[in-house]
């Protein structure tokens, strides 16, 4: 049995043997935590497809409950904190969202996703300097993080820092965010800078990508 556990959980017999029952119990908790996490993801996906705000809120609350159960079973479950943070942000519970995102970062300080998530919350709260700091940390951890570049660009755009916004929007598009929203944002940055030719070119590209784009 010890050899089976060693192979199954990629650990040593020395780690298992002193408290075999405790080790097995911890693995049971881990499996249960992941099952609750998967259930929470299902509720989140159902919320995404919900046809009205009441149903969406109900599914979000069910998801939060499932993620909380996962965390209670496995307190070091960084992804559960991060995903619960995401839903709290959508629901407008920014303080809870920041707390969970910060915990996710403490558990996994190399997570670009967690920094991007917390930056988005700070942006929603209007704490723009903190948002820029987190997006910058996310980019440092993952140079291919198009979402962080775009989000930081949006903050720069909102504060009138058009040159920095243009750099970030261009970077997000080069990485792969070739959406009408990205080109519209870039066009707005060029417009703010007074570069009408590049502004029009990007607005036209947004329309080309989505002819009914507002």
Question: What is the CB-side half-sphere exposure of residue 62 using CA atoms within 13 A?
Answer: 16
Please state, for a pLDDT cut of 90, what percent of the chain lies above it: 79
Domain formed by 146-214, architecture: Alpha Horseshoe (1.25)
> Is residue 153 a contact partner of residue 165, using CB atoms and an 8 Å limit?
yes
Range of weakest confidence among 15-24, 48-57, 149-158: 15-24
Enter the pTM of the model: 0.82
User: What's the CA gap between 116 and 44, in Å, rounded?
Assistant: 19
Domain map (residue ranges) of the chain: 146-214
Q: What is the pLDDT of residues 4-27, one digit of tens each?
A: 334 433 444 444 344 444 444 555
Q: What is the pLDDT of residues 165-178, one digit of tens each?
A: 999 999 999 998 88
Count of residues in the chain: 214
């Amino acid at each position: 049995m010890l050899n089976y556990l060693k192979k199954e959980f990629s650990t040593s017999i020395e780690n298992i043997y002193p408290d075999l029952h405790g080790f097995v119990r911890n693995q049971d908790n881990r499996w249960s935590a992941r099952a609750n996490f998967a259930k929470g993801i299902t509720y989140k996906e159902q919320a995404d497809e919900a046809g009205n705000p009441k149903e969406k809120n109900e599914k979000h609350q069910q998801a939060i409950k499932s993620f909380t159960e996962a965390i209670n079973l496995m307190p070091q479950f960084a992804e559960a904190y991060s995903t619960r943070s995401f839903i709290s942000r959508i629901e407008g519970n920014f303080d809870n969202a920041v707390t969970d995102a910060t915990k996710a970062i403490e558990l996994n300080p190399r997570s670009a996703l967690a920094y991007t998530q917390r930056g988005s919350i700070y942006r929603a709260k209007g704490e723009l300097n903190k948002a820029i700091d987190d997006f910058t940390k996310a980019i440092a951890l993952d140079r291919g993080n198009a979402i962080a570049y775009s989000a930081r660009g949006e903050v720069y755009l909102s504060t009138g820092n058009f040159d920095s916004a243009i750099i970030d929007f261009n970077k997000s598009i080069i990485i792969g965010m070739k959406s009408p929203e990205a080109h519209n944002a870039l066009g707005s940055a060029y417009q703010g800078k007074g570069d009408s030719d590049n502004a029009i070119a990007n607005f036209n590209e947004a329309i080309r990508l989505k002819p009914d784009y507002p």
